[in-house]
């Protein structure tokens, strides 16, 4: 028997419309009613003083690259899970672009078994849409669903053949898993490495035009309508994408979009340093795009926050800008960046909506039994200090990689304790 009482925190549980100062009680890994409290008198009760803190359902990041199997030198399931815990996340959804790719049931089983053994947070795998993520032939979507994937995606790549994508969405509908898509038209984007615009021209770097994303967002809207099934557009970066999603969602199309912190924290102006930690896909955009993303978050067009945590080793990133791999790590800075930018600085949403975008929204999309402090739910809890000022120190990260453009940044607000299944897996 184990029990914990988290006392006197501001409990924010958007799933139950709860926002009040009170207690949260945990017994044997589950949330129990706070009024009746701990029932078993033999329980050894741990008391956590949460005065001045926010007590939220464990946060979910639905866009993480854990790099195992195949690229353990960048990140392992163990190190990625520890990074998640340190960032306030109790559940992470990992992308299938591993080696071998997660395009078959045995790789999914391997990931689940490895996570059960090594990960301190819940790790939920996605499966690939196409075999070997090559965009040519569909992966066995039904078997992947049976093996327990929470969604399918070719993230990092994008299926260019619209007919193949249509069949993928139809299969996904039959087995009731959502489709996530990395929106990139290969012909329009070509060898682009940074946003096509002023800075790409000035610096002479190949441009990645906004239309290269928007064309696929439009394709996905049309296919979501045609197939009557949900498509979620990953890491949205342009004003045009926000406009397309807003219009489609108003018409009731089953389409959604997510935002990553770097796309609102930075613009393509940052690439003049030629620091490869500013190279990601989709690229950093212009200020008008950042403004549109902020409006999209404020009006609910963009409903999910995620990191696109993409670890790379130093030797891989320390090369010329053109040849460096895309992507940055994000698990240990994303919550703070969003708290800092959305709640404190731009005041686009309040803390309740921010928690909802990290809990209720991804749980609803992926049909997860998570993201709530309901009685009987698994005791996944994140404690936040909204006003704690701190400085990002990349050398203190739990992640096995260091490729963050936010090293040294001063931020306000962060997670201070992460509890998974009633057990504290990280505390500051
Ligand atoms: Zn992607």
Active-site residue identified among 181, 308, 380, 385: 308
- Token pair, residue 371, equals 């993201």
247 C-alpha vs ligand 1 centroid, how far in Å?
Answer: 23
8 A C-beta contact, residue 59 and residue 16: no
Partners of 123 in the β-ladder: 92
26 C-alpha vs ligand 1 centroid, how far in Å?
Answer: 37
Q: Which residues surround ligand 1, an ion (CB under 5 A)?
A: 155, 182
115 C-alpha vs ligand 1 centroid, how far in Å?
Answer: 22
pLDDT of the residue at 44: 79
Q: In 3D, which of 127, 176, 136, 178 has the Cα closest to residue 155? A: 127
pLDDT of the residue at 180: 98
pLDDT of the residue at 41: 65
pLDDT in tens, 175-217: 999 999 999 999 999 999 999 999 999 999 999 999 999 999 9
> 308 an active-site residue?
yes
176 C-alpha vs ligand 1 centroid, how far in Å?
Answer: 22
Low-confidence stretches of the chain (pLDDT beneath 70): 1, 35-43
258 C-alpha vs ligand 1 centroid, how far in Å?
Answer: 11
8 A C-beta contact, residue 245 and residue 255: yes
Cα separation values, 227 from 167, 250, 361, 366, Å: 9, 18, 22, 18
Buried b (16+ CB within 10 A) or exposed e, 171-197: bbbeeebbbbbbbbbeebbeebbbbbb
Q: In 3D, which of 150, 208, 211 has the Cα closest to residue 179? A: 150
pLDDT of the residue at 38: 65
Whole-structure pTM over 0.85, yes or no? Answer: yes
DSSP H helices, 137-208, are 141-147, 162-174, 186-189, 198-203
């Amino acid at each position: 028997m184990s029990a914990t009482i988290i006392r006197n925190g501001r409990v924010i549980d958007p799933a139950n419309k709860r926002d009040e100062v009170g207690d949260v009680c945990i017994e044997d890994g589950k949330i129990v009613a706070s009024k009746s409290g701990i029932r078993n008198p033999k329980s050894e009760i741990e008391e956590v003083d949460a005065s001045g803190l926010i007590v939220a359902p464990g946060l979910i990041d639905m866009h993480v690259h854990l790099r195992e199997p195949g690229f353990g030198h960048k990140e392992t399931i163990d190190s990625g899970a520890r990074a998640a815990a340190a960032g306030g996340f109790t559940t992470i959804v990992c992308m299938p672009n591993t080696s071998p790719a997660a395009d078959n049931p045995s790789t999914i089983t391997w990931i689940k078994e490895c996570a059960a053994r090594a990960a301190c947070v819940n790790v939920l795998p996605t499966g690939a849409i196409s075999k070997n993520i090559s965009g040519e032939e569909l992966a066995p979507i039904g078997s992947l669903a049976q093996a327990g994937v929470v969604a399918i995606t070719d993230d990092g790549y994008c299926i260019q053949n619209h007919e193949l994508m249509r069949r993928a969405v139809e299969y996904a509908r039959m087995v009731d898993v959502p489709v996530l898509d990395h929106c990139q038209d290969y012909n329009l984007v070509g060898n682009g490495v940074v946003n096509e615009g002023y800075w790409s021209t000035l610096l002479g770097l190949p441009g990645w035009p906004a239309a290269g994303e928007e064309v696929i967002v439009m394709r996905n809207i049309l296919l979501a309508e045609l197939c009557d099934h949900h498509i979620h557009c990953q890491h949205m970066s342009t004003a045009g994408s926000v406009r397309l999603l807003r219009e489609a969602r108003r018409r009731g199309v089953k389409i959604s979009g997510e935002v990553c912190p770097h796309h609102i924290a930075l613009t393509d102006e940052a690439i003049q340093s030629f620091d490869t930690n500013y190279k990601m896909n989709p690229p950093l955009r212009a200020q008008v795009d950042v403004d549109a993303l902020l409006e999209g978050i404020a009006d609910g067009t963009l409903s999910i926050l995620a990191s696109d945590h993409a670890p790379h080793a130093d030797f891989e990133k320390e090369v010329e800008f053109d040849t460096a791999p895309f992507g940055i790590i994000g698990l240990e800075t994303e919550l703070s960046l969003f708290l800092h930018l959305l709640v404190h600085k731009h005041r686009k949403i309040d803390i309740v909506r921010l928690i909802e975008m990290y809990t209720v929204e991804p749980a609803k999309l992926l049909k997860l039994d998570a993201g709530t402090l309901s009685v009987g739910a698994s005791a996944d809890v994140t404690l936040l200090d909204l006003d704690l000022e701190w400085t990002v120190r990349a050398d203190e990260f739990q992640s096995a990689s260091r490729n963050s453009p936010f090293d040294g940044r001063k931020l306000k607000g962060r997670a201070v304790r992460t509890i998974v299944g009633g057990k504290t897996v990280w505390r500051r």
